[in-house]
């Protein structure tokens, strides 16, 4: 599937790179000399050493393996290796890095490890249109032009699927999200905001913005329509992205499953560049969803140990109270070929 690994702006010029865990693989995403994004498996073709051990960085012209110094250019081609002329059986052209499909959308780099990736339009854009009704509704926010005002990585001791289920669920909002339900009162009723196509949860009348204290927030994104004003939209893009939209910012979560019981969730708060550069106080905006994240991840961590209980046979204690969560279960078991 398509997997979101990095913010495009973090690859700010040729040689800038980021590494990310995608399933059992480590992937390098980097910008080539022509400005395009490239992705490679992070495996040296000589004896398989990890090529890049840093999470991010910048090389001048090439990646050099720290083990025996095989060197690959920004297109992944093997361009040099010590004593290569004395190894007549090694054809440089055959030992380039293994490439991975990559593309950019909403200012993020998405990769796919499959030899033949599924259509991006269907899997990624389709998830957005299914939820919002059309693509224009997300394009209004111009997410690719927004700037990261804050990024927080959460190391969550829970399986990624618990985090997806929790994100799609609204049944818990009244219990664990007092600050969020103060801004979005319908969430206290347990309505599934992601169930109704095109539905955005309305802000409470007395609230001025999507902030921890109901304060107005920052400048509204100009493309946001009047219908979208004072509303919150949440989108799940399987398998690992959540997009949250409010009039003055977007919040984008990417999950990196590291083990059956551990997931790093990287969360960006994106605002208009002039808002970030102008020194506006982002604190009240960031604090609201940061608190929601902490509350949600604590809930997931509370469930995780019980997943090993005999009470949890075959997904048994699950009573999905919301339809689309049952859909998610069916999707997972279907992908795994499990019949129940």
Question: Which residues of this protein are in contact with ligand FES, per CB under 6 A?
Answer: 44, 46-47, 49, 65, 67-70
User: How many angstroms separate the CA atoms of 286 and 304, rounded?
Assistant: 27
The distance of closest approach from Cβ of residue 252 to Fe ion in the complex, given in angstroms and rounded to an integer, is 16
Number of residues in contact with Fe ion under rule CB under 5 A: 1
Neighbouring CB atoms inside 10 A of 239's CB total: 20
- Smallest CA-to-CA distance from 141 within 253, 214, 228 is with 228
Window 254-293: contact mask with Fe ion (x via CB under 5 A):
----------------------------------------
Task: Find where tokens 């995403």 sit.
Answer: 29
> 132-156 in b/e burial notation, b at 16+ Cβ within 10 A?
beeeebbebbbbeebbbbbeeebeb
Only one residue has tokens 């103060």, namely: 182
Please report whether residue 248 would count as binding Fe ion according to CB under 5 A: no
187 binds, among ligand FES, Fe ion, none (CB under 5 to 8 A by kind): none
The partner residues of 21 in beta bridges, in order of sequence, read 26
Residue 296 binds Fe ion, judged by CB under 5 A: yes
Query: With CB cut-offs between 5 and 8 Å by kind, which of ligand FES, Fe ion, none does residue 46 bind?
Result: ligand FES
Cβ atoms of 271 and 147 within 8 Å: the answer is yes
* Residue with smaller CB distance to Fe ion, 250 or 300: 300
Q: Which does 258 bind (CB under 5 to 8 A by kind): ligand FES, Fe ion, none?
A: none
For strands 16-22 and 147-156, give the pairing: unpaired
Decide which of Fe ion, ligand FES, none touches 67; Cβ closer than 5 to 8 Å per partner kind.
ligand FES
> In the bound complex, what is the minimum distance in angstroms from residue 167's beta carbon to Fe ion?
7
DSSP labels, 68-107: T--EEETTS-EEE-TTGGG-TT--GGG-PPPEEEEEEETT
- Shortest distance in whole angstroms from residue 19 CB to ligand FES: 15
Minimum distance from residue 90 beta carbon to ligand FES (Å): 12
- Which of Fe ion, ligand FES, none does 296 bind, CB closer than 5 to 8 A by kind? Fe ion
Instruction: Tell me whether residue 68 or residue 157 sits nearer to ligand FES (CB atom).
Output: 68
Applying CB under 5 A, which residues contact Fe ion? Answer: 296
């Amino acid at each position: 599937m398509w997997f979101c690994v990095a913010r495009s702006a973090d690859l700010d010029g040729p040689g800038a790179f980021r590494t990310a865990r995608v399933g059992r693989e480590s992937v390098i995403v980097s910008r080539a000399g022509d400005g395009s994004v490239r992705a490679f498996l992070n495996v040296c073709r000589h004896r398989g050493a990890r090529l890049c051990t840093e999470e991010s960085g910048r090389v001048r012209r090439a990646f050099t393996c720290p083990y025996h110094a095989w060197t690959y250019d920004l297109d992944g081609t093997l361009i040099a290796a010590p004593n290569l002329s004395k190894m007549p059986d090694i054809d440089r052209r055959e030992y380039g890095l293994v490439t991975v499909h990559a593309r950019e959308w909403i200012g993020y780099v998405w990769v796919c490890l499959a030899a033949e990736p599924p259509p991006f339009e269907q899997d990624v854009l389709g998830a957005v249109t299914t939820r919002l009704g059309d693509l224009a509704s997300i394009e209004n926010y111009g997410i690719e032009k927004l700037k990261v005002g804050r990024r927080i990585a959460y190391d969550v001791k829970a399986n990624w699927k618990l985090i997806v289920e929790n994100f799609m669920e609204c049944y818990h909002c009244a219990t664990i999200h007092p600050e969020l339900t103060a801004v979005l009162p319908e969430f206290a009723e347990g309505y599934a905001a992601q169930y109704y196509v095109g539905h955005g949860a309305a802000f409470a009348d007395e609230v001025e913005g999507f902030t921890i204290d109901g304060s107005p927030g920052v400048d509204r994104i100009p493309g946001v329509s009047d219908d979208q004003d004072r509303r919150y939209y949440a989108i799940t893009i399987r398998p690992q992205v959540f997009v949250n939209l409010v009039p003055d910012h977007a919040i984008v979560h990417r999950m990196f499953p590291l083990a059956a019981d551990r997931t790093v969730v990287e969360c960006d708060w994106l605002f208009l560049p002039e808002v970030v550069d102008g020194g506006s106080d982002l604190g009240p905006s960031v604090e609201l969803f940061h608190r929601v994240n902490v509350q949600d991840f604590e809930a997931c961590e509370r469930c995780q140990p019980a997943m090993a209980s005999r009470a949890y046979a075959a997904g048994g204690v699950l009573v999905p109270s919301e339809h689309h969560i049952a859909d998610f279960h069916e999707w997972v078991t279907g992908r795994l070929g499990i019949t129940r």
